[in-house]
Amino acid sequence: MELHVDICKTLSDFTLNVNFTTDTEITGLLGVSGSGKSMTLRCIAGIETPDKGRIILNGRTLFDSAEGINVPSRLRKVGYLFQNYALFPHMTVEENIGFALGQLPREQRLSRVKNILQIIKLEGLEKRYPSQLSGGQQQRTALARALAIEPEVLLLDEPFSALDDHLRNHLGRQLMDTLAAYSGVTLFVTHNMDEAYRICPKMLVLKDGEIEASGENNQLFQNPPTLNVAQLTGCKNISRAEYLSDHECLASDWGITLRVKKNLPLNFNYAGIQAYHLREAAESHHDDFSDDDNVFECWPSTIIESPFKVTIYLSIGKKPADKDDYNLFWELPETTWQNLKSKPLPWRIKISPDKLLIFN
Ligand SMILES: Nc1ncnc2c1ncn2[C@@H]1O[C@H](COP(=O)(O)OP(=O)(O)OP(=O)(O)O)[C@@H](O)[C@H]1O
């Protein structure tokens, strides 16, 4: 199973120009709003027509501008779960699901709908209209409709965006079970990096209509190649930076010199550290030189406590003038905070040389 997409489409003030191949590992499409995620899906589904290029699904040409091929949507075997679900309000759950199967004989259609209702755990809701369903049930009906045609590629456009956190996690797990049994190609659009991390082993990162980075999800999270990827994967502490030596850089926005474990390239623009990777420096082992690397005196400018996590805005090297005077975000577990809060200021905070991110 393989989907190959190499297309270009120019709109009034946006150009989509993407080239990628995916297999059956769920592939996340990550990018800020307006980067071209939905447009990519719409072209694959045949709702939009690219200006040029090719879309090949398992050896079948769905679109080829040079050959004049443009297979109609309903014959593409593409299941599409829209952001807002796009259920037909005047049709019941089973009619919504059966709609795409209009070409099948009645008996076969009913049996396919029954089967999918069972898989997606919608039994008992067959006769309800979308307005009589909860958000989660609507989402599952839309997923059932997308799967009913036995698609070779499943396009999921932010399937959880309308749901609360609890339902999001619950349906996320349910979706993964469903997808584990699905043998086709899945493209999963999301803004949400936690979701991308949990659900998609592979990722394509879109920026301004082009693919800026792609690869294994772990690799992109641990070594983001660009500022955009670093931000999308949740890095909140980013400073402009420049090379000083193979293991040392100047983080100019923070006004500090940082030791870096890996060999630095000559050209890079930024250094970053995840908010949860900051640590209080160990007070012992002062004789061990490496333990003193990247240890800075810091003062808190704002402290935000939530039930299990505390976020502290830190000012490096000086007392903050006001609450907007800070350089770093530090996220620590509540238990660590309880131990830290009575300690005298300034705190000694460590930016681990092996946790520093370096990117362009
Ligand atoms: N029919 C259209 N005519 C002109 N421009 C369009 C059209 N549809 C989309 N665009 C533009 O194409 C760009 C990409 O839109 P797209 O919906 O693919 O973004 P997205 O990454 O999915 O964003 P979001 O995360 O907000 O859904 C946007 O700048 C949008 O304004």
Flag whether pLDDT at 178 surpasses 90. no
Per DSSP, the chain holds a count of helices (H) and strands (E) of: 9, 21
Summarised one tens digit per residue, pLDDT across range 137-163 is: 999 999 999 999 999 999 999 988 877
| DSSP assignment of 217-257 | HHHHHHS-SSHHHHHHTT--EEEEEEEEETTEEEETTTTEE
Q: Look at ligand 1, atom 25, and give the residue with the nearest C-alpha.
A: 33
Regarding whether 191 and 242 lie in a shared domain, the answer is no
Regarding whether 220 and 284 lie in a shared domain, the answer is no
Q: Domain of 312?
A: 235-360
Q: What is the CATH number of the domain that holds 225?
A: 3.40.50.300
Flag whether pLDDT at 242 surpasses 50. yes
Q: How many CB atoms lie within 10 A of CB 59?
A: 7
Query: What does the alpha-carbon distance between residue 332 and residue 3 come to, in Å, rounded to a whole number?
Result: 42
Query: What does the alpha-carbon distance between residue 315 and residue 301 come to, in Å, rounded to a whole number?
Result: 7
* pLDDT band for position 291 (cuts 50, 70, 90): low
Query: What does the alpha-carbon distance between residue 52 and residue 17 come to, in Å, rounded to a whole number?
Result: 10
193 C-alpha vs ligand 1 centroid, how far in Å? Answer: 20
Q: Look at ligand 1, atom 4, and give the residue with the nearest C-alpha.
A: 11
Query: What does the alpha-carbon distance between residue 281 and residue 216 come to, in Å, rounded to a whole number?
Result: 32
In the structure, which protein residues have their CB atom closer than 6 angstroms to any atom of ligand 1? 11-12, 14, 31, 33-39, 191
Nearest to 151 by CA among 227, 89, 99, 74: 74
pTM: 0.89
pLDDT at 31: 93
ipTM of the complex: 0.96
Task: Tell me the best of 30, 32, 39 to mutate to test the pocket of ligand 1, counting ligand atoms within 8 Å of each CB and taking the most.
Answer: 39
Nearest to 170 by CA among 123, 218, 137: 137
Regarding whether 304 and 284 lie in a shared domain, the answer is yes
Summarised one tens digit per residue, pLDDT across range 260-274 is: 999 999 999 999 999
Q: Look at ligand 1, atom 26, and give the residue with the nearest C-alpha.
A: 33
pLDDT at 13: 94
Which domain-ending residue is among 198, 232, 266? 232
Which domain-ending residue is among 181, 197, 232? 232
Regarding whether 105 and 68 lie in a shared domain, the answer is yes
